[in-house]
Amino acid sequence: MLKPRSTATRELVSLDGLWRFALDGGPGPLDTTLEAAVPASYNDLFTDSAIRDHVGWAWYQRQVRVPRGWAGERVVLRVDAATHQGRVYVDDALVAEHVGGYTPFEADITEHVRAEFADRHGIVVIDETAAVGLNLAVASGLTGAPPRPTFSPDTFGEATREAHAQAIRELVARDKNHPSVVMWCIANEPASNEEGAREYFEPLVELTRKLDPTRPVSYAAVLFATHDNDRIADLFDVLCINRYYGWYVATGDLATAETYLEHDLRGWAGRFGKPIMMSEYGADTMPGLHSVWDTPWTEEYQQAYLEMNHRVFDRVEAFVGEHVWNFADFQTSHGIHRVDGNKKGVFTRDRRPKAAAHALRARWRSLGGRKPQG
């Protein structure tokens, strides 16, 4: 689905801005005094815990004036994204419905003559589906719940895979004509080390290649998936690895972390012989916290942590790319391992640079598009 552009024969109207908002509602006028910004996550906009912690349906509404010059013209309503299920009404009429986050949907509403949605605009390089959480071992570790198999008829089975396949179809259809998209990533941190992973993912990899035979396909491997036990890496073209040595493992001991990381990356390269990139690496950092030695949470530690990773990256011949987690701090649910959200950003939540941002700028400017020699 191509993103519309304004031309001599096509006029676009953006509906970004403040909308009336309510958790309870339906077709017809909303009885509410609340307003929420579009695009945005409503959970992040209110202090009321009933809204901040809400998971489920929420209602947005606004009045739209159709330009007089549109009389007799075709009017199409487009939603760039609504996570994870969306319904759109014009007056009391349901005109569009969609399941799956991060991909657009649209409807011809000429007969209703009302509105067109456009929520977000962005460019990506590695295009990833919303398939996050296909790993029940992680949930068990965080909650203490008894472990369950990730891939089974009672957990993630055929129904999940079909929803996953539909998300891939929509992602490729939306973005395949963007030259900035260089690779498809079809899952983030799945349980690729568990039984059933290959049976789940092999048809999805085949589907992605059928939809677009011109781009490589990847997934992001979780820490529990190693070069010894991963069951699906050979299906993919590029190995994307998420690793946090020096943070979640060997916390505060960067010398040990450096040894672990290099052994890990060389293991993947030796077994699979494929290009490798680090799709997540980072350390939580409180802005303004400083120390004269390697102390986790300080700006100095974040910078030293990144430098350690980069030394290893530069020494491994198969290594082709690095993606720091994260660009900027962001809000999360409460947890003892969070301090007012995830602080792995190299920028603060209001986009002020930490020391690591300047270090990354210097490194990436010096590369000149070439891999440095370790």
Catalytic residues: 189, 280
Residues whose CB falls within 8 Å of the CB of residue 280, separated by 6 or more in sequence, listed in order: 220, 242, 243, 244, 323, 325
CA dist 81 and 100 (Å) reads 9
Work out the widest C-alpha separation in the chain, in whole angstroms: 70
- Closest by Cα among 272, 134, 243, 144 to 194: 134
For the chain, the residue count is 374
Whole-angstrom distance, CA of residue 247 vs CA of residue 223: 12
86 Cβ partners below 8 Å, 6+ apart? 79, 96, 97, 98, 105
Quote the CA–CA distance of 182 and 189 in Å, as a whole number.
20
- Taking CA 188 as the corner, what is the angle to CA 186 and CA 194, rounded to the nearest 5 degrees? 95
**β partners of residue 78:** 106
Q: Please name the residue ranges forming H helices in the chain.
A: 49-52, 136-143, 158-175, 197-211, 254-272, 299-315, 355-367
Distance CA 51, CA 218 (A): 36
Residue 304 CB coordination number (10 Å): 19
For 65, 80, 218, 303, 316, the CA distances from 310, given in Å and listed in that order, are 53, 36, 22, 11, 10
